[in-house]
Amino acid sequence: VDARLATALLAAVRAPTPGLPPPRLMLVGDADQLPSVGPGRVFADVIDSGVAHVTRLTEVFRQAAASPIVRNAHAMNSGQVPRDFLHWDAVAPVKPRAPGGGTVRHDVAP
């Protein structure tokens, strides 16, 4: 989810409906996935902001525990790049469009 879509989503969720309790929003995602194509790193900003309760799942079900995918993912998350693992960082930095730095906490958080 990029910053523009997140802003629209939060505006829709904030809109009260008479006679109903206030809406709640649950975000489910993988903080270790690639960032959104559009500007903003909304999911990571929500996690980093401390304004939301965060639960992390720690057990892998899609690959065997000894799988090279799981081993490499754990190694990279802890800052170690295996010698036989090739990676090229092709992400170009994006200037935030929103004033004040463009973080969720500043621009769209209550």
Tens digit of pLDDT for each residue in 24-46? 888 888 877 777 778 888 888 88
Please, which residues have CB within 8 angstroms of residue 69's CB and are 6 or more apart in sequence? 63
Tens digit of pLDDT for each residue in 44-59? 888 999 988 999 888 8
Question: Domain spans of the chain?
Answer: 1-57, 58-91
CA distances in angstroms from 7 to 43, 49, 55, 68, listed in the order given: 12, 16, 23, 38
Fill in the amino acid letter for 82.
P
Is the full-model pTM beyond 0.85?
Answer: no
